[in-house]
Structures are given as structure tokens and as C-alpha cells.
């Protein structure tokens, strides 16, 4: 969700392809029901889905009778959402232009990709909401995919590519994000870190291809496949069982906040 930048500053951008996402990461919307339950969409409400992806959960919100606008920075994901008949638009999450028109903002598995300025994202959500509007979300929390991240950093360092500066995610603690929401004008009704080991639908190589481009793009194209295999080999003893089934070491941060009236 970030713009492409040089490897010497911020990590290169993650690219989002709807077909690849559906193949390797369909667990993301499939596990989104708890945050939908927090949202409690109601008929007649106007709701913004921030980081809507291919629209799987946006469609569920619409099924509750709400009028939903989905936004995402990835054009290919928005095209997939539009094929579902949704009102979906290419919008940068840190530059929301809506003003006081939504009863609620919903976000699942997207806010941690908006690393550059999380306060700007929260400010945009606040502007988009009506007074008293609610913000229900789930994102990666502190410690999310820690083993995967350590392995990626180690392999990049081995290749001389500066591993730590490649991390593209913002995984806050509950205290950190609660404070950010409060500074943004929200009253936090619920916030919790939730460990959620997650079986992967394909394998670790598929996960890395889908989510770890900002790391692997630090390397020359001819080195990337071997580097990915090194990461897979490093993770196999801890995240793969005897039957070859992979599990991602996910930790989620789930919250519900309400804008001051």
C-alpha cells in the first residue's frame, strides 16, 4: 500500500494481485468474522471499508443492508471488488478525502500496511465519520509473523541487502494503538492482542510470494528464488508439521473505537 521507493530508504512496494491473493491468502477474509461482529453493520447505515481488498468482506457488510464504499490502494484488488458489483475505489488510506458521511469505518488486515503515517490514517477515518461514528478494525499486532520476519531479515543480511530496513509492516501494541486512537479523537471501547496461529492454504513459499515482496525485491532478480528457499528452509522446523502443513505465526490487534460527538 506504499508507493515504490528506493532500497536505500523505505522498502519497495508490495504489489497486490487478486488471483494470487485468492490462491494463497483467502484465509484473511475467511477469518474476518470476529471484527465484522464488532462492527455490527445495520440496514440503512453508510459504511466505509478501508483496505477492502477484493471485496469479500465488503460484500458481507452490504448483505446486512448497509450502503458500503470500499477503498484500497491496489488497482487490481479494486477491479476484483468492482466485479462483485461493489462501489470500490482506488484510494490511498493515508489520504482519505471523505468528510462526515459515514456511520462507521471498517478495516480488516490492512492498517498494518499503512506504516508510513498511521496517525494520518486515523485522522482520515475521523474526518470520514459522522459525530459518534464507530471505527472497527483488525490488523497485525505486536509480534505478528515474528518468526517469518526474523528469517527474512537474516537471509537479507546474509545477502548484504539490509534486512531490518526492509520491514514493511506496522504491528503496534494495544497501548500504542489505543494512544493513537485517543489522540485522533476516539474513545476506545475495546482493544486486544489476540494470538492466532493460522494454517496456510498453500505453503510458506506461496505466503512469501504474496506478502514478502518488499524484502525479496531488495535482491537482484536472479537471487530472489534462492533467497526465498533459504527463508523457507529456516522456517520449516518451527512452522511446518510432519505432514508438510504450514502455519503462520499471526497475532492480531482487534479494536472498536467511537468518535467523540
Q: What is the mean pLDDT of the chain?
A: 89
Q: What angle is formed at CA 148 by the lines to CA 147 and CA 152, rounded to 5 degrees?
A: 120
- 58-84 pLDDT per residue, tens: 999 999 999 999 999 989 889 999 999
Helix ranges (H only) for 52-99 are: 56-63, 75-83
In this model, does residue 7 exceed pLDDT 70? no
Contact of 195 with 116, CB cutoff 8 Å:
no
- 198-250 pLDDT per residue, tens: 999 899 999 999 889 899 999 999 999 999 999 999 999 999 999 999 999 99
- 172-199 pLDDT per residue, tens: 999 999 999 999 999 999 999 999 999 9
pLDDT score for 17: 59
- 84-99 pLDDT per residue, tens: 999 999 999 999 999 9
Would you say residue 4 lies in a domain? no
Would you say residue 173 lies in a domain? yes
Average pLDDT over residues 120-127: 98
Would you say residue 125 lies in a domain? yes
Would you say residue 99 lies in a domain? yes
- 133-166 pLDDT per residue, tens: 999 999 999 999 999 999 999 999 999 988 888 9
Would you say residue 226 lies in a domain? no
pLDDT score for 11: 46
CATH number at residue 79: 3.40.50.150
Would you say residue 56 lies in a domain? yes
Would you say residue 6 lies in a domain? no
Measured CA to CA, the distance from residue 238 to residue 218 in angstroms comes to: 25
Note down the domain range covering 74. 18-143+169-199+248-259
Would you say residue 162 lies in a domain? no
How many domains are contained in the chain? 1
Give me 167's grid cell: 520491514
Q: How many residues does the chain have?
A: 261
C-alpha 146 chain-centroid distance? 15
Amino acid at each position: 500500500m506504499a508507493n515504490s521507493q528506493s532500497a536505500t530508504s523505505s522498502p519497495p512496494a508490495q504489489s497486490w494481485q487478486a488471483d494470487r491473493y485468492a490462491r494463497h491468502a483467502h484465509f484473511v477474509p475467511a477469518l474476518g468474522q470476529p471484527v465484522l461482529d464488532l462492527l455490527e453493520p445495520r440496514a440503512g447505515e453508510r459504511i466505509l471499508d478501508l483496505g477492502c481488498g477484493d471485496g469479500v468482506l465488503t460484500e458481507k457488510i452490504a448483505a446486512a443492508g448497509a450502503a458500503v464504499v470500499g477503498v484500497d490502494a491496489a488497482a487490481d484488488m479494486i477491479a476484483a471488488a468492482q466485479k462483485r458489483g461493489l462501489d470500490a475505489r482506488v484510494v490511498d488510506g493515508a489520504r482519505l478525502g471523505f468528510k462526515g458521511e459515514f456511520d462507521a469505518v471498517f478495516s480488516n488486515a490492512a492498517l498494518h500496511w499503512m506504516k508510513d503515517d498511521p496517525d494520518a490514517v486515523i485522522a482520515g477515518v475521523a474526518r470520514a465519520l459522522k459525530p459518534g461514528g464507530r471505527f472497527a478494525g483488525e490488523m497485525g499486532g505486536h509480534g505478528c509473523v515474528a518468526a517469518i520476519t526474523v528469517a527474512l531479515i537474516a537471509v537479507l543480511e546474509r545477502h548484504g541487502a539490509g534486512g531490518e530496513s526492509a520491514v514493511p509492516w506496522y504491528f503496534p501494541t494495544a497501548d500504542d494503538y489505543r494512544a493513537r486512537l485517543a489522540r485522533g479523537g476516539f474513545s476506545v471501547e475495546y482493544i486486544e492482542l489476540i494470538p492466532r496461529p493460522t494454517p496456510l492454504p498453500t505453503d510458506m513459499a506461496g505466503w512469501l510470494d504474496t506478502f514478502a515482496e518488499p524484502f525479496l525485491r531488495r535482491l537482484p532478480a536472479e537471487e530472489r528464488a534462492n533467497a526465498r528457499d533459504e527463508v523457507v528452509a529456516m522456517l520449516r522446523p518451527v512452522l511446518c508439521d510432519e505432514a508438510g502443513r504450514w502455519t503462520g505465526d499471526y497475532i492480531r490487534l482487534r479494536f472498536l473505537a467511537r468518535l467523540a460527538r
